[in-house]
Amino acid sequence: MIKLTTVIFLLTISYGFFSCSSEDGATEPANLIIKIKFDSNQIRLNNLGQPSVIPDGNAAQTPDMKNISAHYLELAPSATTLLGQGKVLYHAPETDLGDSMAIDFSQAKIVGQNEVFLTIPITPQMAGSYEWVRLSLSYQSGKIQVLSQGTTYTGTLDSFLGYNTYIGTHSIGNNVFPVNGNKLQGYWAFALDSFPYMTSGQAPAGATTVPNPLFQTSPVPQGSCVVTGKFENSLALVGNEKNDVVVTLSLSINNSFEWTEVNTDGKYEPSVGESVVDMGIRGMIPSFVQ
């Protein structure tokens, strides 16, 4: 005869087993994981997505890029898909505090090399085959070399690439830049790492490079920073993936910081009047692992 205590024990074990089985059997949706990395050796492109050389009278250097942010991400099925007509996956917060609509820098998601920028659950609405990626960059920060009176210094350059950005106060180390307003594409701020020097400025309108190989079939607005790149093989999503899909967006920083030369020595020397022209990313190559 089975004792009552034995029956209770067996029921308890059975309940626990089936409860755990139910919880373990619940499948979480797979994610589309977006990572961003910088490549100093990646091909340097112009606005049309073609190989680019440094113009006469200018010079450039490859920054040691540390951080970046973007405010828009879209997957496009084909070369004729117009901007906004693909699968829009992300649109960062905007604000009208500066009297016109602008990216809200205070809410920007800023990441470093190979860090995860976005994790997006894959849904049936995302099903499709995608050849292209559009990424609208908004901010980047990196180290550059500056020459002053024969001495080379290292400093940090913050550059704002978005169409319009509302900035309250931003800082580079202990150097504080109170803006409290909107800044159009091309605003930058710079501070030396080991010397009490800071400055800021504005690159000329339209001077920031925004590579778009689809300029003929799918243009982007002037003053935006919607960089366009093509997968080697199309990214196919069915909408009920069992495993995460990791997309890596490789950004070219090959001689991406460019200035006008006064002394033709290939060194950035603002003290003699050399001015920033371009700090745009020089191309994007997307890849994925399924």
**Contact, 213 vs 219, CB < 8 A?**
no
57 burial via Cβ count (<10 Å: 0-12, 13-18, 19+): exposed
Confidence band for 2, pLDDT divided at 50, 70 and 90: very low
134-150 pLDDT tens trace: 999 999 999 999 999 99
Q: Regarding predicted confidence, which is higher, 194 or 243?
A: 243
Distance from the Cα of residue 144 to its chain's centroid: 19
Contact 28, 103 (CB under 8 A): no
Number of domains in the chain: 1
Predicted pLDDT of residue 23: 52
Tens-place pLDDT, residues 164-199: 999 999 999 999 999 999 999 999 999 999 888 999
Model confidence over 253-287: pLDDT tens digits? 999 999 999 999 999 999 999 999 999 999 999 99
Q: Are strands 151-160 and 187-192 parallel, antiparallel or unpaired?
A: antiparallel
Q: What is the CA angle 266-114-61, rounded to 5?
A: 5
In a domain, residue 22? The reply is no
Domain that holds residue 92: 28-289
pLDDT at position 7: 37
Within a domain: 15: no
All residues at 6 or more sequence positions from 238 whose CB lies less than 8 Å from its CB, including other chains: 127
In this structure, the dihedral spanned by the alpha carbons of residues 99, 169, 39 and 93, taken in order and rounded to 10 degrees, is: -40
Confidence tier at 41 by pLDDT (50, 70, 90): very high
208-245 burial string, b = 16+ CB within 10 Å, else e?
bbbbbbbeeebebeeebbbbbbbbeeebebeeebeeeb
Question: Quick one: tokens of 187?
Answer: 């605003």
Q: Which residues does 265 contact at the CB level (< 8 Å), separation at least 6?
A: 147
Q: Classify each residue of 4-37 as buried b or exposed e, where b means 16 or more C-beta atoms within 10 Å of its C-beta.
A: eeeeeeeeeeeeeeeeeeeeeeeeeebbbbbbbb
**Is residue 71 included in any domain, yes or no?**
yes
How far is it, in rounded angstroms, from Cα 113 to Cα 251? Answer: 10
Mean pLDDT of 1-25: 41
> Which of 161, 143, 145 lies closest to 153 in space, CA to CA?
145
User: Residue 12 falls within a domain, yes or no?
Assistant: no
Q: Is 47 within the bounds of a domain?
A: yes
- pLDDT per residue as tens digits for the range 49-98: 999 999 999 999 999 999 999 999 999 999 999 999 999 999 999 999 99
Task: Find the mean pLDDT for residues 232-251.
Answer: 97
195-225: pLDDT as tens digits: 889 999 999 999 999 999 999 999 999 889 9
* Mean pLDDT of all residues in 123-129: 97
CA distance 60 to 178: 28
Q: Residue 249: is it exposed, middle or buried by C-beta count within 10 angstroms (0-12/13-18/19+)?
A: buried
Q: Would residue 146 count as lying in a domain? A: yes
Q: Whose structure tokens read 């540390």?
A: 66
The span from the first CA to the last CA of the chain, in angstroms, equals: 57
What is the band of 24 on the pLDDT scale with cuts at 50, 70, 90? low
Q: What type of residue is 45? A: L
Please report whether residue 20 resides in a domain: no
Are 37 and 248 within 8 A, CB to CB? yes
110 lies in some domain: yes
